[in-house]
Amino acid sequence: MDIGSISTKGVLIDSDNHVVAGEYLWTEGNPVGAVKRLLAALRQSGDYEVVSVGTTGSARKLIGAMLEANVVKNEITAHAVGTLSKYPQVRTILEIGGQDSKIILIEGGIVKDYAMNTLCAAGTGAFLSSQAKRLGIRIEEMGDMALGAKNPSKIAARCTVFAESDMIHKAQTGHTTENLVAGLCRAIASNYLNNVGKGKQIVSPIVFQGGVSKNRGVVAAFQQELGQEIHVDLNSHLMGALGAAILSRTESGTNRPFDFSVSQMEFTTRAHECTGCANNCEIIRFYRENQFLDSWGSRCGRVGKAAAAAYLPPSPEPRV
């Protein structure tokens, strides 16, 4: 499972790391609900026995506890492992997701360097989606529309506010939708290389992945900017989930049958502020059917899992 802020991805793999089923859906601000829907979809894809689970993405800890995953890994590791399983010679991974983007440099099959952009949404899938909606087109149409443009508009995409303002201005002065979309695709590639890829030596083979890799206009823009071939896998949007699955499968001594009925169970979170030190950390406790599973949020480490499980909120003060 790869649980992001915008989309949730899941794959089932066999013992040879081949994807036998995969799903991609919107998180919609509810990662637990998204995973339940994703599990239901994967279960309908065939009669499989799942022996281990791995999670990655921004909600990896939450969903890792929910599914009792034997592996919970960061996105850099998961994406690198997933990509290397398909492209063993890869040297550069370009990844643009719904809310953030990253670059991973590989040397000898090992991550050498990486960078992430999580501070600005310019150039991400969420930004593309909002612009498609504003232009009155489906996001799936943007790639082909960009490739058909005769004179791509110049769009300043270093900031979402400036980019949208620039697109509105150019539309008001007569630029066609096709040229605006093509200009936006080029601006996304340029913005990525000037920010996320700044100072990085981009070496072939190059693999582009994440939801935005499905936009052929952005792929073409990267090829033009870099002057090199860009590889996009059929499952480019599922690479993080694939990496988590591979890491889970190869983790020795922790495999056990997984029960899909977890998608029918009730999960809740509760929070309280710890006053044990000046940090005043918010401790999150996670429950399945009112049974404590895990907790996180303690920065000083004083509040362990056992302490969080035993925590009882203070009784309300009596009314006077």
Same-domain status, 173 and 55: no
Residue 7 to residue 236: CA distance in whole angstroms:
14
- Say whether both 98 and 193 belong to one domain: yes
Determine the Cα–Cα distance for residues 123 and 197; give it in Å rounded to an integer.
13
Q: Which residue has the tokens 């009596």?
A: 318
Residues 61 and 97 grouped into a single domain: no
The mean pLDDT of the chain is 87
pLDDT tens-place string over residues 287-312: 998 888 888 888 877 665 555 555 55
Residue bearing tokens 């007569």: 174
129 has pLDDT over 70: yes
Pair (218, 166) in one structural domain = yes
Quote the pTM value. 0.86
Residue 319 in this model has a pLDDT that exceeds 50: no
Range of the domain at 303: 267-309
Distance CA 34, CA 45 (A): 17
- Is the same domain home to 247 and 178? no
Query: Are 206 and 153 found together in one domain?
Result: yes
318 is a domain residue: no
Claim to verify: residue 215 and residue 248 sit in the same structural domain? no
Rounded CA separation 319/24 (Å): 51
Give yes or no for residue 163 having a pLDDT over 80: no
pLDDT in tens, 71-118: 999 999 999 999 999 999 999 999 988 778 899 999 999 999 999 886
Whether 249 and 304 share a structural domain = no
Residue 275 lies in a domain: yes
Query: DSSP alpha helices (H): ranges in 148-235?
Result: 160-172, 177-195, 216-226
Residue 316 lies in a domain: no
Residue 124 has pLDDT above 80, yes or no: no
320 domain residue, yes or no:
no
292 belongs to a structural domain: yes
Residues 74 and 207 occupy one common structural domain: no
> Within this chain, do residues 94 and 201 fall inside the same structural domain, yes or no?
yes
Closest CA to 257 of 13, 67, 59, 65: 67
Mean pLDDT of 22-49: 92
For residue 56 the two structure tokens come to 């990655």
Model pLDDT, residue 205 = 96
Query: What pLDDT shows up at residue 308?
Result: 57
| 9-13, 21-25, 119-123: least confidently modelled range | 119-123
Check which CATH number belongs to the domain holding 201 and give it: 3.30.420.40
Region 186-202: mean pLDDT is 88
* Number of separate domains in the chain: 3
Per DSSP, helices labelled H in the chain are: 31-44, 60-67, 75-86, 125-135, 142-147, 160-172, 177-195, 216-226, 239-250, 305-310
Residue scoring higher pLDDT (6 or 57): 57
Do 64 and 102 belong together in one domain? no
Residue from 94, 46, 82 nearest 235 by CA:
82
